[in-house]
Amino acid sequence: MSTLVLPHELCTAARTFFEDCGTRGHEGTAMIKHSPYGAELVIPEQQPWRGHRGEVSVEVTRRGQMQLAQALGADELYVARIHSHPAEAYHSQTDDANPVLTHEGALSIVVPFFGLGLRLGLNACAVLRREGGRWRSLPVGADRDRWIQASPGENDAH
């Protein structure tokens, strides 16, 4: 896979969606597909959950699963999952146990603080890459930039 470039519009749409979920105290999830037009955000129907001890999670509904399937055209592939967490950006045990994408080179982006972290750009997020059947964290820097970058202007919409 070549470097995934996230357009400014994609980052803005993701941030808006996650912040909207966050105003209700919910996480959100979306997929990023690679199409002939570049990276595109696909937000499926989902059901957020809040536990009695404040735990949160989100599940893509059956209808949402169909939306994801129908959103893929010929020769298109989901290359990344992007989802929000209520606090720090990290891959939780739930994220590891339920990898939405399992193909080699898939990316997982975790946005902190119910989406607010994306206001600081991609560097505020955790980014992991699927390698050898496991998720490997990509710290900010050259190794991460090799696999994913945000196009200029991402931070202009503070």
Per-residue model confidence as pLDDT tens digits over 63-81: 999 999 999 998 899 999 9
DSSP 126-147: EEEEEETTEEEE--TTHHHHHH
Confirm whether 4 is domain-assigned.
Answer: no
Q: Is 32 left (phi over 0), alpha (psi -120 to 50) or beta?
A: beta
Task: Find where tokens 């990898």 sit.
Answer: 99
| 24 vs 56: CA distance, rounded Å | 11
Task: Please say if the pLDDT value at position 85 is more than 80.
Answer: yes
- Which residues share a beta bridge with 47? 59
Confirm whether 103 is domain-assigned.
Answer: yes
Confirm whether 13 is domain-assigned.
Answer: no
The alpha-carbon radius of gyration of the chain (Å, integer) is: 15
The answer to whether the beta carbons of residues 74 and 44 sit under 8 Å apart is no
| 135 vs 144: CA distance, rounded Å | 13
Report field, pTM of the whole predicted structure over 0.85? yes
Confirm whether 2 is domain-assigned.
Answer: no
Share of the chain above pLDDT 90, in %: 77
Q: Is 43 helix (H, G, I), strand (E, B) or coil?
A: coil
Q: In what order do the strands lie in the sheet with 77-84?
A: 38-42, 29-35, 77-84, 107-111, 126-131, 134-137
Which of residues 150 and 158 earns the better pLDDT score? 150
Helix then strand count (H, E) for the chain reads 4, 10
Confirm whether 66 is domain-assigned.
Answer: yes
Q: What pLDDT score was predicted for residue 43?
A: 98
Q: Domain residues for 49?
A: 26-153
What is the mean predicted confidence (pLDDT) over 41-54?
A: 91
CATH of residue 43's domain is 3.40.140
Confirm whether 6 is domain-assigned.
Answer: no
Q: What pLDDT score was predicted for residue 95?
A: 86
pLDDT bin (cut points 50, 70, 90) of residue 158 is very low
The total of structural domains in the chain comes to 1
Confirm whether 47 is domain-assigned.
Answer: yes
Confirm whether 101 is domain-assigned.
Answer: yes
CA 27 to chain centre: 11
Task: Find where tokens 């390698």 sit.
Answer: 131
